[in-house]
Each structure stands twice: as C-alpha cells, then as structure tokens.
Amino acid sequence: MTKATRALVLSIAVMAGLAACHSTVVRQTGSSGGGRIVSQPKYGQTVRVQRGDTLYGLAFRNGIDFRDLAAWNGIGSPYTIYPGQTLRLYPSSGGRPTASTGTAATGTAPRPTTPPATSAPKPAPPQAAPVNSGFNWRWPADGHVIGRFIAGDATKQGIDIAGSGGQAVRAAADGVVVYSGAGLVGYGELIIVKHSEAWLSAYGHNRKRLVNEGQNVKAGQQIAEMGSSGAAREMLHFEIRYNGKPVDPQLYLPKR
C-alpha cells in the first residue's frame, strides 16, 4: 500500500468515526415498535389508585396510552393495580430538561429577553383520520349529534348523541370491556371497550351498564342503557381513542 493510499484510508476511517459519534438512536419508553409515538409524559405528576380504579381507566382519564402508563410503572399484563398504589404519569428514567439560568463559573446573570410579538391565533386545520383503524365502526346509538369533537378542547373529546332514557347503547366495534364503572368524574356511568392494542371506544352518561370488565362484545351488541348520569340531559357521550389520544368519531362512523 502506497503512502498516498494509506493516507486516504486513514481519512475515511476518521470521517466514519466522527459520523458515528454524532448519530444517536432514540428509543422511546413504552413504545411497542412499529413507529408508535409514546404518550406525552406529565413530568412530576402522579396519581394515587382508589378502590375501583383500573389502569385502563386511569390512562383514559389522563389521556395516556395504557401501554405507556404500564411501562412507566413496571406493570405487566394483565395490568393489575391496587388501592393506595401511586403511579407515575411519566417515565422513571430522565426528566424534563431545564434551561440554564446563567454561567455558574462567572456568575453572570441571564440576559433579559424581549417577549415575541403575539399574533392572532390561526384556526386549527381540519382534523384528519390518523390511520385506517381496520374496523367497520357502527353508530353506538340512534339520535342527533348535539355536541361535536373539537381537537385540543378537553371538554369536547368526543361527540354527544341525544336520545331518551333507557335507549339502547351499542358497541361500535368488536372488542373486550376494559372498564365498566362510575369512577371517572364527568363521564357518569362509563364503559370503555378495547378493540386492539391501539384503539379504544368509550360510552358515557349511561343509566345502566349491561356488561362487565373482561367481557367480549360484538359490534352492534347492546352494552348499556342511555341516561343522564354526569350530564344535564339524556344522551350518550361517545369517544374513539387512538394510542390514548381522542380522535373525531365522525371521521370513522358511517355517514348518515
């Protein structure tokens, strides 16, 4: 090997080493592969398990994928939790980055910053279906939609369907009941159905729940009677959640 060739090989090796030093693979806690995005952690926040709570219910209440909540707290399937247990709403390793407030060595104070000029908020873009769910969704109840989904509004994470007391509430797709109770404030008598690892649906304000946790249900099967528990009138509050995040049910339900 000539001197020039050795120099070229050495140069290539050094460049490859530098590239490797600057390449970082980020693995998200709680991700099950396939590019699934981890839930948004709530750093520093915890929740204390009360009697009747389930991991699915707590994850639903906090807008977190149940798989992430389980992973962050070292809980394996079938996701059993106990009254008095404290669950983190964030990963145990790492924390929220904090900005430096000055130079410790010199004691210099942070420079004052001028707040950026504010402008009128832009209207939110139309909500689009995140992915094809693979389910043939059915309307969970007959009646007019009196409340619509608004992205980012914590009080409008689903749709409200008007009806009468005792009217049939049906499963929107095949699945298994993972929550049946009244422990989530604002939802009244609530049922949550798990359709896959990524998809859940929720049915709130029922008068009577007709299914229990762990029970398999079929699309169109009656699971509850419509009511006004936790609401001012008889109606069904219906949500669809993808990886723990609410999506607009009317993007998935058939047109009518």
pLDDT digits (tens, 9 = 90+) for 136-163: 999 999 999 999 999 988 889 999 999 9
Tell me the pLDDT band of 39, cut-offs 50, 70 and 90. Answer: confident
Exposure string for 183-200, b = 16+ CB within 10 A, e = fewer = ebeebbbbbbbbbeebbb
pLDDT tens track for 42-89: 999 999 999 889 999 999 989 899 999 999 999 998 899 999 999 999
Say which CATH class 145-251 falls into.
Answer: mainly beta
The model's pTM:
0.70
* pLDDT at residue 15 tops 80: no
Tell me the pLDDT band of 25, cut-offs 50, 70 and 90. Answer: very low
Q: How far is CA 187 from CA 44, 132, 204, 235, in A?
A: 26, 27, 5, 11
Rounded CA-CA distance 221/127 in Å is 29
Coil, helix or strand for 180?
strand
Q: Where are the domains of the chain?
A: 46-88, 145-251
Assigned architecture for domain 46-88: Roll (3.10)
